[in-house]
Amino acid sequence: MSVCEFKPGLEGIPAAQSSISFVNGQEGILEYRGIRIEDLAENSTFLETAYLLIWGKLPTKDELIEFEHEVRYHRRIKYRIRDMMKSFPESGHPMDALQASAAALGLFYSRRDLDNPVYIRDAVVRLLATIPTMVAAFQLMRKGNDPVRPRDDLDYSANFLYMLSEREPDPLMARIFDVCLTLHAEHTMNASTFSARVTASTLTDPYAVVASAVGTLGGPLHGGANEEVIGMLEEIGSVENVRPYLEDRLQRKAKIMGFGHRVYKVKDPRATILQKLAEQLFEKFGYDKYYDIAVELEHAIAEKLGQKGIYPNVDFYSGLVYRKMGIPTDLFTPVFAIARVAGWLAHWKEQIAENRIFRPTQVYTGHHDVSYTPVEQR
């Protein structure tokens, strides 16, 4: 029997064949279905991009109108889901609330009909439509308020910001938020997508697929880093304190949140776009002192760790954008999840279309032929 080389974190090992997205980490290129992320950020919308990812092509005008219409009219969540969410502890993390709520959808749609395109489309629409409503509902309910009903006259992103703040958002803010969703929608075989594909490969329902991916996204080494970044910028507190802070962290061999990436060895192209979006927001809605701290930190890390390929990733500037929009820090990762649902569903669809259950091997490092010791002799 051959002994396989063990690669911690499965670095460099292909886990699937996929035509959904592509990353060139040396040159900082990201494409969804062959289209550069910069092009999509400039010209597309999140829902159009979701369609592209899930169905593999840009929709025609009529297809897009129909898809947007379907998503718009499935935004409401069931009273029983809302009541269940009401019973969650207010102090719980919104990612946990989202994971539980996404899984609970499976209780209402337990039929599993993975060969039926109508079933697939219904699940896609339902998940894209209701995840933002669940995030906003938990936010209002934990403050003791009733959730706000979705507004059918608002588009996807404007409606989410409206449900969160109970105010119609500024159009520039809504557009920038929508671009953020596009930027976060998909990223090859990242940890949460891998988790989604493993779950999908058992042929379970899509709600379980999304719930497992949400659980994976929340960790601080993955999507949860966006929340940690703001805490770190606050802790640094001033531009003068950036370099002493960095020295101290590096001496203690601690990681700097929002930096580094398994694939990118240059600045993440999404971080470049997010930085520009943050600047646009500050120009219209006022400056944020943490932006200067962030820029100085980026420079200091480029000097110290640039040779190692440690640059800002997608999580570094996104928090500054969301903060300016008034989104609470612990909702940054749920917002990431709202976007990434598109990628997870695209991978779910791709996985079940040509499925083989994930069942890798392991390198066993334990003993053999050990005899059982009765409890009184241990």
Residues classed as catalytic: 261, 315
Pick 174 or 232: Cβ nearer ligand ACO: 232
137 within 8 A of 147, measured Cβ to Cβ: yes
Spatial separation of the C-alpha atoms in residues 173 and 44, rounded to whole Å: 16
User: How many CA atoms lie within 13 Å of 236's alpha carbon, on the beta-carbon side?
Assistant: 28
Residue given tokens 């971080």 in the structure block:
271
Type of residue at 362:
Q
Could you say which residues in the range 136-195 bind ligand ACO, by CB under 6 A?
Answer: 190
Type of residue at 49:
T
Q: Is 314 in the site for ligand ACO (CB under 6 A)?
A: yes
Q: How many CB atoms lie within 10 A of CB 17?
A: 7
State the number of binding residues for ligand ACO (CB under 6 A).
Answer: 20
Q: Is 190 in the site for ligand OAA (CB under 6 A)?
A: yes
Q: Is 314 in the site for ligand OAA (CB under 6 A)?
A: yes
Could you say which residues in the range 324-353 bind ligand ACO, by CB under 6 A?
Answer: none
Which x/- pattern over 170-189 shows residues binding ligand OAA (rule: CB under 6 A)? Answer: -----------------xx-
Buried b (16+ CB within 10 A) or exposed e, 195-219: bbbbbbbeebbbbbbbbbbbbbbbe
Which x/- pattern over 220-259 shows residues binding ligand ACO (rule: CB under 6 A)? Answer: -xxx-x-----------------------------xxxxx
Query: Least distance in Å: CB of 239 to ligand ACO?
Result: 20
Spatial separation of the C-alpha atoms in residues 243 and 68, rounded to whole Å: 47
Provide φ and ψ at 64, rounded to 5°.
Answer: -65, -45
Q: Is 262 in the site for ligand OAA (CB under 6 A)?
A: yes
Could you say which residues in the range 277-306 bind ligand ACO, by CB under 6 A?
Answer: 305
Which candidate, 13, 17, 39, places its Cα nearest to that of 263?
Answer: 13
Task: Provide the binding-site residues for ligand OAA, judged by CB under 6 A.
Answer: 187-188, 190, 262-263, 313-314
Task: Provide the binding-site residues for ligand ACO, judged by CB under 6 A.
Answer: 9, 190, 221-223, 225, 255-262, 305, 308, 310, 313-315
